C-alpha cells in the first residue's frame, strides 16, 4: 500500500512583511489531480526531515508525512521567517509569524497541484503555529488538528505562575533544537536575530504586549473553522493547558481529545503512530478537506483518558457538566504514610483548631537534585524534604475530572513566596504501584492578583502585569491554578499534595524553574481562620 514519495521541491513566497519564506512540497508518487494540502510550519529546518522520529530529536514533530501522501494529500513543510531557508528575522510565534504562514497558505492553495482546501498539521511548535495562523483567518485554511500545543506564552511555559521556567526546557529547546541545529547546517545563529530570543524572554518578566503578540490565546475567539484539539497528559507542564484553552475559546465546530501518553517522549512518539492517525486524525481531515461523510462529527465533543483507571471516557463539555466540587482541607495532623518535612493530612472536615500551621526553611541542606534526596542505596526520594498533605484511604471509587485549585493561606519572613505544587494519587499498599502525579500548579505570591472576567471559582486566571511584594509576617490567601486533570482514586487509594518552592530536577524535568536567591522561612496556615484546601471537580460514579 505504501508508495515512495517523490523528492520534494521548494516553493517560495514574499510575505506581507517583505520576507522571502520557503517551503518544501511533497506529493504522492502517483498523484492524480489537485490534492488537499496539509501544511506544517516551524523553525526546525525543513532539511532535517531526514532524521528519524526519536526522542533524541525532540524537534521532529511534523507527523507521518508518508502516511498522508499515501492517503491522497500533499504535504508542505515551511521554514518560518528567519529560520532554515526562509529569510527575515525570527520572531517566534508572533502574530507576524502567523501572518507569514497565512501568506504561504494562500500561495499554496492556488497552485495547480492543490485543490484549494488546506489544513494544518504537526505537534508542539507546529501546533502553536496552527493556533497562531488560524487567528489570522486565512481564507483557504479549512481546519486545524492542534496536537500538543500551548496558546499562552507567558502562563503555559515561560513563566509558570510568574516563576521563570527558563532553567530547564527553555534552554535545551532554544539552544539544542534551534540554534545549534542551525549552526550544524552552516547557518550563523546570529542571523535573523535567532540568538536574541533568550534575552527577549528574560527582558519581559511580566505578561506585557511582547508576550501577548506571541500568545494566540487572546485571539482564539477569532477562529471559526473546525478545530480538533488533542492534548496528552504527559505534556501537562508545557502544552496541555493550551489545548484546553484552544478547545474552550474557539467559535467553530470543535472536539477535544486528551490522550494517554504520560511522558514528554511518549507524547512525541504517539504523534508518529499511524494507528492513532488512522483512527483519530485522518477521518477529521478526510471530512473537512475531502468532504467524506464518515461520521467523525458524531463523536463526543470531549474524550479523555482517566488516569489510574486506564480507560477513555466522554463528555459533552469541558469541564464535564456533571462534575461537582469536592473539598479536602489541609491539616497538621500526621498521616503516617510518608517521610516528608511534615507528613500532614488532607481531610474532608474543615479545620477547627485556633492555630495549626506548617513552617519550613530553605534552601534545605539535604537537597541534592533540586528537592530530591537519595537514600543509602542511592535511590531518589522526591518527597522527603518537601511538605506533604495526604488523605485517608478512599472509602469508594472516586473520579476527579475537570479543574482544580489550591487555596493556601501563607506567610513568610521574606517579601515573596514561590509555590510549586503537585497532586498525586497514591495506590493502596496491596497494589504495589508507585504514586502517580495527576496534576500540578505554580504561583509566585507577588503575582497573586487575578483577572476577574477570566477567573472562575475553580480556575484562577492571574494577571501577571506587576508584582505586589508581601509584608513579612502577614498572612495572604493565595489561589494556585491546578492544571486540568482526570484520575480515578480507587477505594483504598489516597490523594497526596506536595508543596515546595523548588523543583526536583529528576521528577519535574525538563520543566524546571530558576531558583534564584531564596533564603528564608515560609509558613502555611491551616486553622479555623485560615482554611487552606484543595478543591477538585468530582464526577459521580
pLDDT tens, position by position, 125-180: 999 999 999 999 999 999 999 999 999 999 999 999 999 998 889 999 999 999 99
Residue 33 binned pLDDT confidence (cut-offs 50, 70, 90): confident
Instruction: Count Cβ atoms below 10 Å from residue 39 Cβ, excluding itself.
Output: 28
Nearest to 468 by CA among 536, 430, 534, 416: 416
Q: Does residue 234 form part of some domain?
A: yes
Q: Which three cell numbers stand for residue 322?
A: 456533571
Q: Which three cell numbers stand for residue 31?
A: 498523484
Give the rounded distance of the alpha carbon of 165 from its chain centre.
13
Over range 393-404, report the average pLDDT. 98
344 and 408 belong to one structural domain: yes
CA–CA gap between residue 425 and residue 435 (Å, rounded): 6
333 and 480 belong to one structural domain: yes
Q: Does residue 308 form part of some domain?
A: no
Asked whether 77 and 129 are in contact (CB, 8 A), the reply is no
Residue 1 binned pLDDT confidence (cut-offs 50, 70, 90): very low
| Res 490: pLDDT | 97
515 and 380 belong to one structural domain: yes
At CA 481, angle to CA 475 and CA 483, rounded to 5?
150
Q: Does residue 311 form part of some domain?
A: no
264 and 331 belong to one structural domain: no
CA–CA gap between residue 155 and residue 480 (Å, rounded): 12
CA–CA gap between residue 305 and residue 207 (Å, rounded): 32
345 and 241 belong to one structural domain: no
Q: What is the CATH number of the domain that holds 457?
A: 2.60.120.260
pLDDT tens, position by position, 501-538: 999 999 999 999 999 999 999 999 999 999 999 999 99
Q: Does residue 3 form part of some domain?
A: no
Per-position b or e across 206-221, b if 16+ CB within 10 A of its CB:
ebeebbbbbbbbebbe
Element (DSSP H or E) covering residue 108: helix 95-109
CA–CA gap between residue 226 and residue 247 (Å, rounded): 10
- Is the pTM higher than 0.85? The answer reads yes
289 and 399 belong to one structural domain: no
Number of domains the chain contains = 2
82 and 174 belong to one structural domain: yes
Q: Does residue 315 form part of some domain?
A: no
Straight-line distance from the first to the last Cα atom of the chain, in angstroms, rounded to the nearest whole number = 45
Q: What is the CATH number of the domain that holds 14?
A: 3.40.50.1820
| Res 17: pLDDT | 98
Residue 6 binned pLDDT confidence (cut-offs 50, 70, 90): low
329 and 294 belong to one structural domain: no
Kindly state the percentage of the chain with pLDDT values over 90.
95
Asked whether 37 and 76 are in contact (CB, 8 A), the reply is yes
431 and 477 belong to one structural domain: yes
Biggest CA-to-CA distance, the chain: 78
175 and 235 belong to one structural domain: yes
520 and 395 belong to one structural domain: yes
Average pLDDT taken over every residue of the chain: 96
Burial (CB count within 10 angstroms: exposed 0-12, middle 13-18, buried 19+), residue 113: middle
Tell me if residue 217 falls in helix, strand or coil: helix
Residue range(s) defining the domain that contains residue 512 = 324-539
Q: Does residue 460 form part of some domain?
A: yes
57 and 160 belong to one structural domain: yes
Tell me if residue 296 falls in helix, strand or coil: helix
Amino acid at each position: 500500500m505504501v508508495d515512495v514519495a517523490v523528492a520534494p521541491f521548494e516553493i517560495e513566497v514574499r510575505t506581507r512583511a517583505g520576507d522571502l519564506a520557503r517551503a518544501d512540497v511533497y506529493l504522492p508518487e502517483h498523484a492524480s489531480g489537485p490534492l488537499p494540502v496539509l501544511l506544517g510550519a516551524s523553525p526546525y529546518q525543513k532539511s532535517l526531515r531526514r532524521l528519524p522520529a526519536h526522542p533524541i530529536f525532540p524537534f521532529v514533530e511534523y507527523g507521518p508525512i508518508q502516511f498522508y501522501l499515501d492517503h491522497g494529500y500533499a504535504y508542505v513543510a515551511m521554514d518560518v521567517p528567519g529560520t532554515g531557508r526562509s529569510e527575515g528575522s525570527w520572531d517566534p510565534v508572533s502574530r507576524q509569524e502567523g501572518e507569514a504562514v497565512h501568506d504561504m497558505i494562500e500561495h499554496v492553495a492556488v497552485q495547480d497541484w492543490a485543490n484549494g482546501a488546506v489544513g494544518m498539521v504537526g505537534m508542539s511548535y507546529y501546533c502553536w503555529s496552527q493556533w497562531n495562523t488560524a487567528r489570522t483567518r486565512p481564507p483557504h485554511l479549512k481546519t486545524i488538528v492542534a496536537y500538543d500545543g500551548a496558546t499562552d506564552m507567558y502562563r503555559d511555559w515561560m513563566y509558570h505562575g510568574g516563576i521563570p521556567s527558563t532553567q530547564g526546557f527553555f534552554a535545551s529547546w532554544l539552544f539544542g533544537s534551534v540554534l545549534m541545529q542551525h549552526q550544524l547546517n552552516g547557518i550563523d545563529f546570529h542571523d535573523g536575530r535567532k540568538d536574541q530570543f533568550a534575552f527577549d524572554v528574560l527582558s519581559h518578566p511580566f505578561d506585557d504586549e511582547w508576550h501577548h503578540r506571541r500568545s494566540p490565546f487572546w485571539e482564539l475567539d477569532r477562529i471559526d473553522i473546525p478545530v480538533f484539539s488533542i492534548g496528552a497528559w504527559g505534556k501537562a507542564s508545557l502544552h496541555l493547558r493550551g489545548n484546553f484553552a484552544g478547545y474552550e475559546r474557539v467559535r467553530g465546530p470543535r472536539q477535544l481529545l486528551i490522550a494517554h501518553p504520560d511522558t514528554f517522549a511518549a507524547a512525541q512518539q504517539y504523534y508518529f503512530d499511524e494507528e492513532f492517525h488512522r483512527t483519530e486524525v485522518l477521518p477529521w481531515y478526510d471530512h473537512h478537506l475531502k468532504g467524506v461523510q464518515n461520521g467523525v462529527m458524531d463523536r463526543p465533543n470531549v474524550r479523555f483518558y482517566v488516569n489510574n483507571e486506564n480507560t477513555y471516557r466522554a463528555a459533552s463539555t469541558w469541564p464535564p457538566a456533571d462534575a461537582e466540587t469536592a473539598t479536602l482541607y489541609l491539616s497538621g495532623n500526621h498521616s503516617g504514610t510518608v517521610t516528608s518535612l511534615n507528613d500532614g493530612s488532607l481531610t474532608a472536615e474543615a479545620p477547627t483548631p485556633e492555630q495549626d500551621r506548617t513552617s519550613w526553611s530553605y534552601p534545605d541542606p539535604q537537597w541534592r537534585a533540586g528537592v530530591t534526596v537519595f537514600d543509602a542505596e542511592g535511590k531518589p526520594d522526591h518527597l522527603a524534604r518537601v511538605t506533604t498533605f495526604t488523605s485517608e484511604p478512599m472509602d469508594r471509587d472516586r473520579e476527579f475530572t475537570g479543574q482544580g485549585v489550591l487555596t493556601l493561606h501563607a506567610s513568610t519572613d521574606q517579601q515573596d513566596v514561590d509555590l510549586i505544587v503537585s497532586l498525586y494519587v497514591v495506590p493502596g499498599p496491596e497494589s504495589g504501584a508507585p504514586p502517580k502525579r495527576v496534576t500540578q500548579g505554580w504561583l509566585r505570591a507577588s503575582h497573586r492578583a487575578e483577572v476577574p472576567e477570566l477567573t472562575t471559582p475553580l480556575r484562577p486566571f492571574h494577571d501577571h502585569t506587576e508584582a505586589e511584594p508581601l509584608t513579612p509576617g502577614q498572612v495572604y490567601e493565595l489561589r494556585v491554578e491546578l492544571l486540568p486533570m482526570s484520575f480515578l482514586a480507587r477505594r483504598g487509594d489516597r490523594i497526596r499534595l506536595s508543596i515546595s518552592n523548588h523543583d526536583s530536577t529528576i521528577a519535574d524535568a525538563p520543566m524546571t524553574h530558576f531558583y534564584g536567591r531564596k533564603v528564608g522561612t515560609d509558613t502555611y496556615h491551616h486553622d479555623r481562620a485560615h482554611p487552606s484546601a484543595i478543591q477538585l471537580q468530582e464526577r459521580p460514579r
